[in-house]
Structure 1
Amino acid sequence: MRATAALLCHAFLLQLAAYVVRPTSAYRAIELGVDPRMVGLIAASFALLPLVVAVSIGRWNDRGNVGRSLVIGGVLMTGAGLGVHLWSRSLTSLLVWNAVIGLGHLLAIVGQQTLVARLGRERLDSAFGTYTFVGSLGQAAAPLVLTVVGGSAVLPDTGLLFAIYTVTCAGLLAVTFLLPSPGNPDRRPARGDSLRSALRVPPATRRTMTGAMLLSMLVLAAVDLIQVYLPALGVERGIPSATVGILLSVRAAATMASRLGLARLTTRLGRTRLAHVSTLVAGAAVGALAAPLPVWAAGVLLAVAGFALGIGQPLSMTIVTTAAPAGTTSTWLALRLSGNRVGQSLVPAVLSAFTAGIGTGGVFLVTGIGLLGTAAMARVLISDDP
C-alpha cells in the first residue's frame, strides 16, 4: 500500500511540475517580447528530443531498467529546472531547457506507466484510470499555483513560478527512491532482439494499436494546445492570468472526474464506442472556444472538453497494454508516447505558422475539427475490447 501511494505521489508531482513549467515558459516568452505566434514552438521543443529516443527508452525499460529510467528522468527535470530559472532570457534558451525537461518527463512517465501495467494487470481500466486521475490532480493543482502567484496581473512572476517548478522536481526525485519494485516482465527481451521483431504483430492488432496511438496523439495535442494557447488568448482578450488559471483548473478537474469513472464507462459503452463518442464531444467543445464568449461560457465548454479529453489517454494505455505481446509492453507504451510527441511537436509548430492568418481563436477551431476527424478514425481502427 505504501509503495502504491508513492507511485501515485510520483505521478502527481510529475504532472504538477510539467503543467507549471509549460505555461510559465509561454508567459516568460511573452514577457521577453517574443511574438505570440512563436509560443507554439515552446510546446514543440518539449516534445522534440523525446520523439527521437522514446522507443529506445521503451526497449531499455523492457530489459529491466525501469528504476534507472525513473531516477534519470527526475535528475534531468530537476537540473533543467535550475537552468530555466537562472538562464532563460531568450527564446533559444527557453527552447533548449524545455527540450531537456521533455526528455526527463519521458523517462519518468515511461517508467511510471510500466509500473502501472505490471502492478495492475487484473484491472487495467481501473489501474490506468486511477493513475491518470492522480496525474490530472497534478494538472489541476498547477493552474492554481499560477492563480496564487499571478493574482490579478496579466503576466505572473515567472521567476517565482520556475523556482516552484524546480522544488517540485526535487521532491519528485526524492519520491523516486520510494517507488515499488517493477518486478520481472513476462518475458524480458534478449539483447539481440530487434525492434522489428518486437513490433511484429497480427494485422488486426496493428490496426488497433495504430488507432489507439493516433487517438492518444490528437487528444494530448489538444490538451497541450489548450494549456499553451489559453494564456495567449487571455492576453489577447485582456483576461487576467488568475482567471486563466481558474479556467485551466476547470478543464483539469473535469478530466479528473472522467478518469475516476473510466472503468464504469468502459463497462457500459465498450472501449471503441467510448473512444468515438468522447472524442466527438471534445471536438465540438474545443472548436466552440474560438467564439468570443463570456468567461463563464468558456468555463462550461472547458469543463465539457476536459471531461471528454480525459478519457482518451487512459483508454489508449489500456488498449496498448492489453494488445502488446509479452515482453514488449514498455516498447509499445513508449511507441505510444512517441506518437504523442509527434502530435506535441508537429501540431503546435504547424499552428504557430498559421496563427497570423487564423488568430489565436482559430487555433481552437482547427483543433476541434482535428478531434472530430480523430473520432471517426478511432471508430474504424480500434477493435472492440481488444
Structure 2
Amino acid sequence: MDATTGSAAGPLDGVRVIDLSTVVMGPYAAQIMGDLGADVIKIESPSDTVRAGRYRTTPGMTPLSLNVNRNKRSVSLNLKDDTGRERALELIAGADVLITNMRPGALARLGLTYAELAEHHPGLVYAHAQGFRSDSDRAGHAAYDETVQASSGLVDIAHRALGRPVYLPTIIGDKVAALTIVYAVLAALVSRDRTGRGQHIEVPMTDTLLAFNLVEHLSGHVYEPAEGSTGFPLSMKRGHRAVPTADGLACIVPYHAQNFRDFFAAAGRPDLAGDPRVAGTVIEDADVDPLMELVADCAPSLTTQEWEEICAKHSIPMAPVLELDRAADDPYVRDGHLLDVVEHPSEGPIRSIGIPVRFSATPASVRRLAPLPGQDTAEVLDALPSARR
C-alpha cells in the first residue's frame, strides 16, 4: 500500500488526541500518533511560529507546518474567550490524550492543569512537555532547541570533537522529546487499559536529551570514582568523518582488523593490508585515528559506487552520503516511498515524508494532508454534545 494514500486503520485507530501545542516538539509527537491511526484534533493558536515564514500560496501553510500537521484536524479557538475555552474543555472531555507545551502559569490561568481536568476526566493521559523539570530552579525559563543542546551537554560534545562550540544543524532536542512523548503516552495508554486511570506525564526537553546523549558519552564516568573521561572514544576521534571518493562523499567505517585489511587490499595497497596495526583481531585505540586517515587517503582511488560494491562484499560498514537536494531521486528513498509527491488541496504538488515503520496487520498511513489553519472548526465543533442540545 502506498504510504501517502493508504486508508487502512492504524494501530491507534479509535484513540483521540488533542494537540494543544506549538512549534515542533508537541506537534511532531501528535503527528506521529496521527500517522499511527489516532484521530488528532489540533487546537490552533494564531501565534504558532510553525505557521510563520515562507509559504507557496497560502499564508500559514509553511514547509514545516505541512510536515508536522498532517493526519490532523485543525480547530481555531480563542482560549482566552469563555466560549472558546468551554469548547476546548468539551473537546478534551471526549479525548484519550492531551499533548501540550504551554507554560504552567498559562495552563493554570486557563483552567487546563492536569489536576483540574483529571477531576472530571480521570482516564485522561496528559502529556506536558517543557524545557526544564517543573521542580527545578529553571522551571519557568524559556527553552529552545539551542538552549537545550547547551544544557544537555551536546554543545560540549561538539566543542570537544570539532573544536568549536556549535549547535547540531537539526532541532534534535525537539524531535527526541517528541519521540519520548509518543512512547510515554503509549505506555500510559497501556496502563490505563489495565487500571482505568490516566495520568500526568512530564517530558522535560533537557532531561530527555541529556539521557539520550549519555547513553554512550557518559563513558568513563559510568564508574564512581570515574575511570576515564566522558565522551564516546570513537565519536570523539579526529578521523570520525565522511571521506571523499573519486566522485563524491561516503561513510566508510572499518570496525575491526579484517575490515581494514580488506579495505586496503581493495584500494590496491597491499603494504597497508599487511600493516602490523591491522594484523590481529583488535585495533588499539591509539591506532584508530591514523588508520582512519589512511582510509581517507585511499578512498579517492575508487568511485562511491565501486566502494559500495566492495564494502558490501566484505561486510565493511559503508553508505554513500545522501545529498538532501537529491534525496527524492535516490533509489533507496524512492523505492521506500520516503518522499512521495502528493497533491495537496490548497498547495498543489508537495513531497510527503514517508512513515519509517511498517506494520504487518495495522499499517500506518497518511490519511489527511496538513489542514489550513482552522479548516475543520465547524465540522469538529458541530459534532460536540453541546451543539446537539
Pairwise same-fold verdict (TM > 0.5): no
Task: Judging by fraction of residues, say which structure has more strand.
Answer: 2
TM-score scaled to structure 2, two decimals?
0.25
Task: Judging by fraction of residues, say which structure has more helix.
Answer: 1
TM-score scaled to structure 1, two decimals?
0.25
